[in-house]
Amino acid sequence: MPKLESLAFDNSFARLPEAYYSRVCPTPVPDPYLVCYSPEALALLDLDASEMKRPELIEALAGNQLLPGMDAVAALYAGHQFGHFVPQLGDGRAILLGEVKNAADQGWEIQLKGAGRTPYSRGGDGRAVLRSSIREFLCSEAMHALGIPTTRALAIVGSDRPVYREDQETAALVTRLAPSFVRFGSFEVFYYRNQIEPIRQLADYVIARHYPELLALADSYPEFLRQVARSTAELIAHWQAVGFSHGVMNTDNMSILGLTLDYGPFGFLDAFDPGYVCNHSDTGGRYAFDQQPDVAAWNLTKLAQTLVPLMSVEAASQAISEYPQLFGRAYLERMAAKFGLPPGSETATLVMDALQLLAQNHVDYTIFLRRLCNFDSGENAPNTLRDLFLDRAAFDAWAARYAAALRQQGSVDTERAAAMRRVNPKYILRNHLAEIAIRRAADDRDYSEVNRLHALLARPFDEQPEYEAYAAEPPDWARKIEVSCSS
Ligand code: AMP
Ligand code: MG
């Protein structure tokens, strides 16, 4: 395994013209310490776990020292925030250190979030607090383990440097990895400045690196947009199927690669509630759970509009027109697998009726699906499942239809159960679990719970009986947890 010294930096983004970023160095923090790291993410850089013990690496991940070959920049972007266009945003607290090419010839950009002020910080301090860094780190790696496209998180490094939010907190940096951090907003910024060439060059850059198969086409831009619509549809289908609510689906938080990006006030559903709004600041519910598919469609229209200078209006609208069907199909496929049935209109009806029952009975989404894995198609539904419902008669009627559908398919219980357990996680990052880990870390400097959660959520589909309590419904006090954009 290579050492830090042999990391091969490529830095393709920093080789683009300066229109796309500002060169800026991270601002050092005093006495950085490692809170948690992801061995899996470290392996993406071909680094051995022993490298994590080296002070040079901790200093680099604290933004105190650049490694040879790094070329630090903050990216420029704009974005539609809660429906309103903001002409200039940009990495206000994130700094891209460089891009590493690993042995498998994959490029991984290394970005520090919370690395100090940049030319795009506006009024902000360029910092991130330990609390939000723990949430982003844990959720990025948990999403990956769930099979959901996401930016990765390599490590959290903390410092006692004070950071002022509602209260005084302390600083932390999350090291994020992604093939690219380019967002819809990276294109939008030039459209609203009436600068066409930078849009074209950025599209060429993204196509060459991430959609090289399109280079052979006479006109690759419409197909590029179609691919973005496709990967976005896949991503949102994943979110809806697992019960993930992003919280701030502004166009500056939409990845051009269809990755989950910028973890702020996200939340996983506990009880199934289609109108769930995880962001305490989102008083209008713009980004409610059940709005996400439509919001993504709206965001795609903003991207399409931005790319119109590269193609005709018809080609642009045609390219994103498939999104609703693509999303619908991807969502039905995921839900059908979660219910152990083939995708089709009958399954769709059964699934929708189940979701309605879950909502009416305030049933925990994840627990319901996990218990559904044990459904016996020849007998009555297991009591552990039935007990989740207040309206037993309504549940029994649904269960009878479900059993009939399974029998009609000739579904074999043991086989179906095994397959369903691979798509219905037992463990998700519930808010209260993150909260407990954050309190221990922030109040007692005890990072064991962060590490425990990270390890637990790396295997979300495994039983892990010693952690049964982590699969339970949230305790009453969890109702009071409020997450907002403040981070
Ligand atoms: P977010 O809601 O985290 O996606 O951030 C929206 C915009 O605000 C981005 O341009 C961020 O870089 C910027 N931002 C958020 N927090 C800070 C901060 N503490 N300092 C500087 N910029 C920030
Ligand atoms: Mg953001």
At 166 the three-state DSSP class reads: coil
CA 126 / ligand 1 centre spacing (Å): 8
Residue nearest to atom 6 of ligand 1 (CA): 89
Q: Is the pLDDT of residue 442 over 90?
A: yes
- Residue 241: which of 364, 144, 333, 359 has the closest Cα? 333
State mean pLDDT over 107-130. 98
CA 448 – ligand 2 centroid, Å: 28
For the whole prediction, is pTM greater than 0.95? Answer: yes
What is the model's pLDDT at position 18? Answer: 97
E-assigned strands of 253-340? Answer: 267-268
Helix (H) / strand (E) containing 143: helix 130-145
Output the six-digit token pair for 309: 């200078």
Cα separation, 301 vs 323, in Å, equals: 10
**Centre of ligand 1 from the C-alpha of residue 217, in Å:** 38
Residue of minimum CA distance from atom 16 in ligand 1: 124
Q: Could you report the per-residue pLDDT of 67-112, keeping only the tens digit for each?
A: 999 999 999 999 999 999 999 999 999 999 999 999 999 999 999 9
Q: With H, G, I as helix, E, B as strand and everything else as coil, classify residue 173.
A: strand
The band of 143, judged by pLDDT with boundaries at 50, 70 and 90, is: very high
79-81/73-75 β-pairing = unpaired
Report how far residue 66's alpha carbon sits from residue 112's, in angstroms, rounded to the nearest whole number: 11
Which residue has the least CA distance to atom 11 on ligand 1?
Answer: 92
- The number of the ligand nearest the C-alpha atom of 122 reads 1
Q: What is the mean pLDDT of residues 313-323?
A: 98
Q: What are phi and psi of 267, to 5 degrees?
A: -160, 150
Contact 283, 299 (CB under 8 A): no
Rounded-to-integer distance, Cα 457 and Cα 130, Å: 19
What residues are paired with 112 via a beta bridge?
95, 175
State the pLDDT confidence band at 487, using cuts at 50, 70 and 90.
confident
Atom 2, ligand 1: residue with shortest CA distance: 485
Cα–Cα separations (whole angstroms), residue 183 to 67, 137, 186, 257: 26, 20, 5, 8
Express each pLDDT in 10-49 by its tens digit.
999 999 999 999 999 999 999 999 999 999 999 999 999 9
What is the average pLDDT across 197-224?
97
Main-chain dihedrals φ then ψ at residue 9, nearest 5 degrees: -85, 135
pLDDT digits (tens, 9 = 90+) for 58-69: 999 999 999 999
Which protein residue has the closest C-alpha to ligand 1 atom 15? 92
How do the domains of the chain map onto residue ranges?
Answer: 4-183, 340-421
Is residue 116 scored above 70 in pLDDT? yes
Active centre residues (catalytic): 252
Residues 344-370 pLDDT 10s: 999 999 999 999 999 999 999 999 999
Q: Which residues contact 421 (CB under 8 A, 6 or more apart)?
A: 370, 373, 461
What is the tens place of the pLDDT at every residue in 279-315? 999 999 999 999 999 999 999 999 999 999 999 999 9
Pocket perturbation via mutation, ligand 1, pick of 73, 86, 89, 118 by most ligand atoms within 8 A of CB: 89
Within 13 Å, how many C-alpha atoms sit on residue 180's CB side?
Answer: 21
pLDDT at 329: 98
Distance of CA 410 from the midpoint of ligand 1 (Å): 53
Please identify, by atom number, the ligand 1 atom nearest to the C-alpha of residue 81. 6
Give the separation between CA 196 and CA 459, rounded to whole angstroms. Answer: 46
**Which stretches within 22-102 are classed as H helix?**
39-44, 55-61
pLDDT reported for residue 480: 84
- State residue 238's pLDDT score: 98
Q: Given the CA of residue 253, which atom of ligand 1 is nearest to it?
A: 4
pLDDT in tens, 364-388: 999 999 999 999 998 766 788 999 9
CA of 79 to the centre of ligand 1 (A): 12
Best residue among 21, 27, 93 to mutate for probing ligand 1's pocket (most ligand atoms within 8 Å of CB) is: 93
Q: What ligand is nearest to the CA atom of residue 255?
A: 2
Element (H, E) at 142: helix 130-145
- Any residues with CB less than 8 A from the CB of 165 and at least 6 apart, and which? 129, 486, 487
Which residues, at least 6 apart from 469, have a Cβ–Cβ distance to it below 8 Å? none
